[in-house]
A and B are shown apart, each in its own frame.
Chain A
Amino acid sequence: MTDTDKTIEIEVLRYRPEQDKEPVWQSYDVPFSNDMSVLQGLQYIKDYIDGTVSFRWSCRMAICGSCGMMINREPKLSCKTFLREYYPGKLRVEALAHFPIERDLVVEVRDFISKLEGIKPYIIPREPRTLEQGEYLQTPTQRDRYEQFSSCINCMLCYAACPQYGLNSEFTGPGVLALLHRYNEDSRDGARADRMQIVNAEEGVWGCTLVGYCSEVCPKQVDPAAAVNQNKINSTMDYFLRFLFPKGGASK
């Protein structure tokens, strides 16, 4: 329970597949204190008002990427957004845009996960080393090339911000392309040629029209729009350089 006399109205877009034909808004009055996040507001609803409200969460500190949702139409992490920002007005909470709703605030993430798997989001060593040869070394300058893109927590807020993904879910999308860029830019990695196939595809970076909202909503300042658009240059280079180096020299 919260020790407060302030109450805020939270509207939740409910969707219970067994009874609802389409989602409906349901309103809850939630007592709150200044240190309460939107996630805590939802937890209050679930614990004390309506146990049937479904939503995902885990860490409560903006690192697990589970609690993303639309809060007054903006994609946000509900653990990193505070109820006081909306008081005395109300807030409307809806499942992440552009994803199918599974139930209430829970969305289907299979498409994102399979795309994420597709880019091989791990280092594939350029020159495999044995244990005796020791670790893969890297200078701070080499690390700077990808560091910001490695901060992605797979929260999918950028997908909820991307109308191109909403209009055509074939688009690989901002988050996965940013992670792809992270591994391609890593000096220890040697799988760039494979990943460039995904970059160059119609559904790759060329599906982006630089709306730029993905970078705006990113809770970790990854700047996926930068990763995607820098790869438009890489993709163009890849295309033209193949005429100069027909044996794949462009991808080195």
Chain B
Amino acid sequence: MAKNNNLITVVKQLPTGGKATAIGSSVAAGLTRYVTFVRAARDVLAVNTAVGSKLYLCEALSNAKTSYSTPTLASALQKMVVVIPSAPTADKDFQSTPKIDTENPLFSIAESKFMTTLLVSDAGLSGAVNLFVQYYDQ
């Protein structure tokens, strides 16, 4: 795959469990979206952070939240799941790979589809998350 230098990055704040949102617009016709890096950090500064997070990164037909707003729906569309442990001692900063490699993407989103995310509302896994995604369309 030829290297694509037109990197796009998106930051999304997922403040509460149940938050579902699209990441970017739909993939243009004839193109594929290559996702190269995902970072999800628990958005908390307090000491007693005994709450984790679980979020789905999905390939959805539309950006209508009704298609990916529950864990059941989102898991059927999932391309990746991120779990941040609840233990206070756990590292709350998830990075998909220690090193970014734009020539070797993590996963792809097909043309006309949307990349979306859902933070679950399950007890202990619904802590606020700051999400960073890097991708390019080619």
Question: Is B truly associated with A?
Answer: no
Q: Chain B residues in contact with chain A, CB under 8 A?
A: none
Q: Chain A residues in contact with chain B, CB under 8 A?
A: none
